[in-house]
Amino acid sequence: MSEHHLLELRGVQKSFGAVHALQGVDFHADSGSVMALVGDNGAGKTVLTKCVAGIYQIDAGEILWDGERKHISGPKDAAGLGIEVVYQDLALCDNLDVVQNMYLGRETRSSLRRLDEAKMEKEALGTLDDLSVTTIQSVRQQVAGLSGGQRQSIAVAKAVLWNSKLVILDEPTAALGVAQTRQVLDLTKRLAEQGLGVILISHNMNDVFEVADYITVLRLGQNVAEFKRTETTQREVVEAITAGTLSDVPGMQDEEEAVR
């Protein structure tokens, strides 16, 4: 591991009106490893990843990329660094084929401004092959006919195709059956094996313990624990999710003042 984290958040805060979604969160992700981000609904997982992806701007704190402080003011900034997010709803176009989806908005053109279909098809096949995605019969089939696991695989391969260095997977197995979940978990491991940093948001502890190297627990907008997966148990992580020690208990201050 290098002396710098690939991504590091220090003291990050984000509020929406009176709601403190993130309160002084420290977080990191490294090349070649999977960092799971876990916590109950409302813990701040999605807000944190949207700050990294440039959809929200942080109110305070700092974001470092490879040891350098960065200002991520929009998704283009994040993509420019090599950060790609695979959201739960996938945002794939059913009426387009696999290649068209993987190149959507970033099509390769030949010298005559025509789409360079052969080059795009070759690169799409190469990326799927690198990631050992073997269940897709043709890169020219429409996405509408693919299973949930295959769709996830395409969405992940699309992220990897764009020279990404960090891939954020938001609940990638939430709607999948056993065999399809297996495909996606294997794919998650392969991303890290290829040297990418991976952030996995998941509610499924079995998935987390199968693929994560490290686990960060968020609770009510604060990080309450970080575990090395080989040195913890599911029970310990679940306890941190449900009863993690908060440095600043919401509402506590008001009660103390009321007593005074």
Return the pLDDT at 215: 98
Asked if residue 98 belongs to a domain, the reply is no
Asked if residue 144 belongs to a domain, the reply is no
Average pLDDT over residues 60-73: 96
Asked if residue 99 belongs to a domain, the reply is no
The range of the structural domain enclosing residue 38 comes to 7-88+166-259
Angle formed by the axes of helices 148-161 and 117-130, nearest 10°: 110
Output phi, psi for 204, to 5 deg.
-95, 105
Higher pLDDT, 248 or 186: 186
Return the pLDDT at 65: 97
Asked if residue 133 belongs to a domain, the reply is no
Total domain count, the chain: 1
Q: Could you tell me the CATH number of the domain that includes residue 176?
A: 3.40.50.300
SS3 23: strand
Dig out the tokens for 186 from the structure. 């294997």
Average pLDDT over residues 219-233: 95
Q: pLDDT for 165-210, tens place per residue? A: 999 999 888 878 888 888 889 999 999 999 999 999 999 999 999 9
Residue 78 near residue 23, CB atoms below 8 Å: no
| pTM, 2 dp | 0.86
Higher pLDDT, 259 or 86: 86
Return the pLDDT at 161: 82
Asked if residue 61 belongs to a domain, the reply is yes
Question: At residue 149, does pLDDT exceed 80?
Answer: yes
SS3 47: helix
Query: HEC string of 150-185?
Result: HHHHHHHHHHHHCCCCEEEEECCCCCCCHHHHHHHH
